[in-house]
């Protein structure tokens, strides 16, 4: 039994000594045909030419047997590849411009496919640029037809007050903000965030600080945190940007920190401002809820990771329905028990008044 090393040596020999093997195969077929023709000429008394013709007819197609012999060497695919490359080179020499167009088209198609795959993989499967991203959850409301929407600020406050102890909820808006530095005004994406937003994401600023509970207190001085993208693009990476005053939607804000652009949420936001406690955010188009689940609960009761759809509101509604139905059943049982007691008491009173027979 020939091992794998023997097979590879035989295939290497077939590649390096192809001409010799072809000559040996040609001589072997010729020998068999000549022996058959000589036998026919001796037994049937025909001429040498007729004997060779009859021998070829009896033997069958010689080229078919040659192809089977070449396939048995195990290197036919390499030979076909070399033949295809030689043909491609001949076509290229004959019409180089057409060949260049074909090559360029293939290169652009392959490059676009790789780019789309890499971008999709980074968006769908890429890890979030936050500490412990597996603990982050996104909470949305599921409406009719499976459509999801952000909660109103009042709904978010209900969620925040009723959140489980293992989950910390924070809210944010997503809206267009008009920002000016005194000389020009531009429009960017910004968010107003609640007091727990920065602790939930655990973002560390590159410069300055993030929001403190005092920044969310009613009547506090308006402050803002910008991203490195805005810091570099609009302020030229000015190291003295901290304490600088800008106008956000016509109101003066003091820049207190710069955070990495890759750690902003939602994606594309370049400005964070605090949402003071008690202020409504419903006018901004809704409040999205983000949570941090302790102890790896993010994949369970808390919902789904940020960037994916979440079933947490549905679970909350199912829990509310279950709680309501249980409360209704308990109330019905309580009313039934009260009715039974009242009926028994009235029956007892009637029995005491009814004369005995």
pLDDT at 230: 92
pLDDT at 232: 92
Q: How confident is the model over 89-117, as pLDDT tens digits?
A: 888 888 888 888 988 999 999 999 999 98
Query: What totals of helices (H) and strands (E) does the chain contain, helices first?
Result: 10, 12
Identify the residue whose tokens are 């999801």. Answer: 148
What pTM was computed for the model?
Answer: 0.47
Q: Centre a 10 Å sphere on the Cβ of residue 295 and count the other Cβ atoms it contains.
A: 8
Q: How far apart are CA 334 and CA 316, in angstroms?
A: 26
Q: How far apart are CA 141 and CA 282, in angstroms?
A: 15
Q: Which two tokens stand for residue 313?
A: 């509101």
pLDDT at 254: 95
Which residues make beta-bridge pairs with 208?
257
For 136, residues 6+ apart whose C-beta sits below 8 A from its C-beta are: 128, 130, 200, 201, 290, 291, 292, 293, 298, 305, 306
pLDDT at 127: 61
Q: Which two tokens stand for residue 207?
A: 């410069």
pLDDT at 321: 41
The sign of the dihedral angle between the CA atoms of 148, 138, 265, 192 is positive
186 touches 248 (CB < 8 A): no
pLDDT at 277: 65
Residues (pLDDT < 70) of the chain are: 1-4, 6, 122-129, 134, 150, 162-166, 277-357
For 35, residues 6+ apart whose C-beta sits below 8 A from its C-beta are: none
Q: How far apart are CA 251 and CA 239, in angstroms?
A: 23
Q: How far apart are CA 301 and CA 319, in angstroms?
A: 11
pLDDT at 293: 53
- Phi-psi sector, 249: left (phi>0), alpha (psi -120 to 50), beta: left
Q: How far apart are CA 245 and CA 255, in angstroms?
A: 6
Q: How far apart are CA 139 and CA 123, in angstroms?
A: 19
Q: How confident is the model over 203-226, as pLDDT tens digits?
A: 889 999 999 989 988 889 999 999
Q: How far apart are CA 231 and CA 235, in angstroms?
A: 5
For 25, residues 6+ apart whose C-beta sits below 8 A from its C-beta are: 66, 69
pLDDT at 39: 87
Q: How far apart are CA 310 and CA 342, in angstroms?
A: 49
Task: Determine the distance from the C-alpha atom of residue 46 to the mean position of all C-alpha atoms in its chain, rounded to a whole number.
Answer: 80
pLDDT at 261: 86
Q: Which two tokens stand for residue 312?
A: 């947490």
pLDDT at 130: 72
């Amino acid at each position: 039994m020939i091992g794998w090393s023997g097979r590879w040596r035989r295939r290497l020999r077939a590649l390096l000594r192809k001409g010799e093997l072809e000559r040996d195969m040609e001589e072997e077929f010729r020998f068999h045909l000549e022996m058959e023709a000589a036998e026919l000429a001796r037994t049937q008394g025909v001429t040498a030419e007729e004997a060779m013709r009859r021998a070829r007819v009896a033997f069958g197609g010689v080229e078919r047997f040659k192809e089977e012999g070449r396939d048995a060497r195990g290197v036919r695919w390499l030979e076909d590849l070399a033949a295809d490359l030689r043909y491609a080179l001949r076509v290229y020499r004959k019409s180089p411009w057409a060949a260049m167009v074909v090559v360029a088209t293939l290169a652009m198609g392959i490059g676009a496919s790789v780019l789309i795959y890499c971008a999709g993989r980074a968006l769908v499967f890429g890890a979030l640029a936050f500490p412990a991203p597996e603990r982050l959850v996104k909470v949305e409301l599921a409406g009719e037809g499976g459509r999801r929407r952000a909660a109103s600020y009042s709904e978010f406050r209900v969620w925040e007050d009723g959140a489980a102890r293992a989950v910390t909820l924070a809210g944010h808006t997503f809206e267009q903000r008009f920002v000016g530095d005194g000389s020009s005004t531009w429009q960017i994406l910004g968010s107003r965030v609640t007091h727990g937003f920065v602790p939930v994401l655990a973002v560390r600023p590159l410069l300055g600080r993030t929001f403190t509970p005092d920044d969310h207190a009613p009547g506090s001085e308006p402050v803002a945190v910008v991203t490195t993208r805005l810091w570099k693009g609009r302020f030229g990476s000015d190291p003295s940007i901290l304490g600088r005053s800008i106008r956000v939607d016509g109101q003066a804000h003091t820049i207190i920190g710069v955070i990495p652009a890759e750690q902003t949420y939602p994606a594309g936001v370049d400005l964070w401002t605090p949402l003071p406690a008690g202020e409504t955010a419903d006018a901004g188009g809704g409040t999205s809820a983000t949570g941090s689940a302790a102890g790896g609960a993010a994949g369970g009761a808390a919902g789904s990771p940020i960037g994916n759809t979440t079933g947490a509101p549905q679970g909350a509604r199912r829990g509310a329905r279950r709680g309501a139905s249980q409360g209704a059943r308990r109330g019905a049982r309580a009313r039934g028990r009260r009715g039974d007691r009242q009926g028994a008491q009235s029956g007892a009173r009637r029995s005491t008044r009814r004369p005995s027979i």
